[in-house]
Structure 1
Amino acid sequence: MATVMMSSRSAGSLLRQLGPRLFSTAVVSRTAAAAAEPAQALLYGSSMFAAPARAPAPWVKFLSVRMASTSTPAQEEVGRQEESVTTPGGEKKEVVSYWGVAPAKLVKEDGTEWKWSCFRPWDSYKPDVTIDLEKHHKPTTFLDKVAYWTVKSLRIPTDIFFQRRYGCRAMMLETVAAVPGMVGGMLLHLRSLRRFEQSGGWIRTLLDEAENERMHLMTFMEVSQPRWYERALVLAVQGIFFNAYFLGYLISPKFAHRVVGYLEEEAIHSYTEFLKEIDAGNIPNVPAPAIAIDYWRMPAGSTLRDVVVVVRADEAHHRDVNHYASDIHYQGMELKQSPAPLGYH
């Protein structure tokens, strides 16, 4: 019995090796078939003694179709190509192509190579820095007051921990601010699948918000390097906030969006204080990170102050979007019944 099993395994291994060579095509072309007819005539004589037509065995059909669906050796070679990417530190890093397709070489408007893998040139934009920064939603209902005072109470330990280290404060703020958009977009996406209905563009709007906040984090990571205990704090805060916001959104989307609206109001205040510290000379106004210049299409020579200004404008946009989403729920309307505000691009 063991001998039979070993022989069957050997045969299977041999078949796997020879299969691509013996059965690499599924259909014989008409030209090849026509060329084979004289040889068949010599072998079998006249046409009335032609070779009998025999259907191929099932396993031959399977191998033929399977091998025909695979790529050619040239295509496989292209799929194995690797792209050399230059990191911000100047190091050469090999990036394997995705799905076996070599990525296209992207360039900026001036013709230089695009070196960012976390976003593409068409994702960059110029923010509206003229947006009203003083707008405030006055809490009137009970849920609004709970959301307002919840955010105000969360600011107390943040002020105590970070003091005036606004670079690290911004880093912590963005790790939390990128959670609500992803949670809301995910839940709306699942609801759209369950109910077989559209979302009015809100899924894309909330996911764009999460991505925008993540790019804020990528920018401030270039400005301030967090310490080990600050990274540990990020893990703890994000884990708690994600689960709390997830449950809160399931219970009351109106309350969840209102909380985010007030969080963005606090973010605007924090970035305003950040600008005051830069203008007072307490924080060096260093050159803007290259990733920020490309993402916000900022002119060459931009500084950290310019980055804070555009980030604050983004937060003001998030504030308006989330307060608007909460107002829709308050009026008894579904998000899908009202179009989402315009995005950031």
Structure 2
Amino acid sequence: MMSSRFAGTALRQLGPVVFASGPAARAAAEPAYALLAGASAAPAPAQTGVLLLRFSSVRSAGTLTAPVGVGGEEEGAKAGAAAKTAEGAAEQKAVVSYWGVPPSKVTKDDGSAWRWASFRPWETYQADLSIDLKKHHAPTTILDKVAFWTVKSLRWPTDVFFQRRYGCRAMMLETVAAVPGMVGGMLLHLKSLRRFEHSGGWIKGLLEEAENERMHLMTFMEVVQPRWYERALVMTVQGVFFNAYFLGYLLSPKFAHRVVGYLEEEAIHSYTEFLKEIDKGTIENVPAPAIALDYWRLPPGSTLRDVVMVIRADEAHHRDVNHFASDIHYQGRELRTAPAPLGYH
């Protein structure tokens, strides 16, 4: 009876420390083990060490944090640093691999490492430079005329502000040109969710348009550095344009796509003037940025002129797609009834 009482006392003393580790924890546990040894046939000291080791193993597999005992600060610091390193590695792995699958190593055709995280080699393409750049959609309906003159009225303040600085002009316009595709794709996405129906590929097509326009901006950022007031202007114009286009798309997708079609026609004109300035020597024909070489699969030695050529071809394709989308709505059909053009770029 007395042995059982002593054993219970020993277990109560041992309880707070069995999940701890370090020299101080082992020293605190010795009286309890001695009490157990006097109460009954306790294990030998070597067995006691094994028992404590087993308790420590259970603790290390759990989520408790062991306190650092006196004299064990260095061990605790090392353990804490190792834990932080492991946690940081796990966090970084979660960032670079969203789906929990480690990303495979991506290389170019020549075997060199792929340096861009925003797009992959299979997302690159060669622009169709043979596309008709002079195609124009003549406004026929009242809605088309409103869209046409709305875009024409927006061109005047742009010409006054940028004058002949076509690099800054292109950079500024690309921050706005990437908005319609994202807004249209977002609204079609929500519409598809509400109606439980497919979109005919138009969601992906419009989002690809937005991403393509954003890549235009990322390219020009390597060539032209915007001034502080140009950055402020971008924030203002984008805020106004996003909300206006959002409301316009809700009211009339036909009108919204027609506006973008005419905006792309103006973009083609602006890039044509950009090329003229490069040919005259007013704008230096600097080497093409590395991101442009990889994104458009341009050959080594390409220049700014080559970049402007492929961007202008992109804008011509966006012009045709948006006019086509507007025509579908004009005919009383929704975008889902006509598949989006294949090979969007």
Matches within 5 A, 1:147-166: 147-166=147-166
Structure 2 equivalent of residue 51 of structure 1:
none
**Residue 118 of structure 1: CA displacement?**
1.4
Structure 2 equivalent of residue 98 of structure 1:
97
Distance in 1 between residues matched to 2:194 and 2:327, nearest whole Å: 24
The answer to whether structure 1 residue 80 and structure 2 residue 80 are counterparts is no
Q: What is the TM-score when the length of structure 2 is the normalising length? A: 0.74
Deviations 1:252-297 (A, max 9, x none): 0000000000000000000000000000000000000000000000
Distance in 1 between residues matched to 2:59 and 2:190, nearest whole Å: 44
Letter in 2 for 1:174: E
Deviations 1:122-159 (A, max 9, x none): 11100101000000000000000000000000000000
The answer to whether structure 1 residue 221 and structure 2 residue 221 are counterparts is yes
Distance in 2 between residues matched to 1:81 and 1:105, nearest whole Å: 19
Letter in 2 for 1:259: V
The answer to whether structure 1 residue 234 and structure 2 residue 274 are counterparts is no
Structure 1 equivalent of residue 118 of structure 2:
118
Kindly report the root-mean-square deviation, in angstroms, between the aligned alpha carbons of the 2 structures: 2.6
Letter in 1 for 2:61: R
Structure 1 equivalent of residue 171 of structure 2:
171
Q: How many corresponding residue pairs?
A: 272
Distance in 2 between residues matched to 1:325 and 1:269, nearest whole Å: 22
Q: Which runs of 5+ in 1 are unaligned?
A: 1-9, 24-72, 84-94
Over 3 Å counting, the alpha-carbon distance change for 1:142 and 1:121 in structure 2 is same
Structure 1 equivalent of residue 180 of structure 2:
180
Letter in 2 for 1:200: G
Letter in 1 for 2:97: Y
Structure 2 equivalent of residue 338 of structure 1:
338
Letter in 1 for 2:333: M
Letter in 2 for 1:321: V
Report if aligned partners of 1:106, 1:113 keep a CA contact under 8 Å in 2: yes
**Residue 105 of structure 1: CA displacement?**
1.8
Q: Which runs of 5+ in 2 are unaligned?
A: 1-15, 21-54, 64-82
Distance in 1 between residues matched to 2:58 and 2:188, nearest whole Å: 51
Structure 2 equivalent of residue 132 of structure 1:
132
Whose helix fraction is larger, Structure 1's or Structure 2's?
A: 2
Distance in 1 between residues matched to 2:176 and 2:137, nearest whole Å: 21
Distance in 2 between residues matched to 1:22 and 1:288, nearest whole Å: 56
Distance in 2 between residues matched to 1:235 and 1:20, nearest whole Å: 52
Distance in 1 between residues matched to 2:326 and 2:247, nearest whole Å: 16
Distance in 2 between residues matched to 1:292 and 1:81, nearest whole Å: 32
Structure 2 equivalent of residue 324 of structure 1:
324
Greater C-alpha Rg: 2
Distance in 1 between residues matched to 2:309 and 2:320, nearest whole Å: 17
**Residue 79 of structure 1: CA displacement?**
5.7
Percent sequence identity over aligned pairs? 75
Distance in 1 between residues matched to 2:328 and 2:123, nearest whole Å: 28
Report which stretch shifted further, 101-110 or 136-145. 101-110
Distance in 1 between residues matched to 2:174 and 2:134, nearest whole Å: 21
Structure 2 equivalent of residue 264 of structure 1:
264
Distance in 1 between residues matched to 2:326 and 2:92, nearest whole Å: 47
Matches within 5 A, 1:184-199: 184-199=184-199
The answer to whether structure 1 residue 312 and structure 2 residue 312 are counterparts is yes
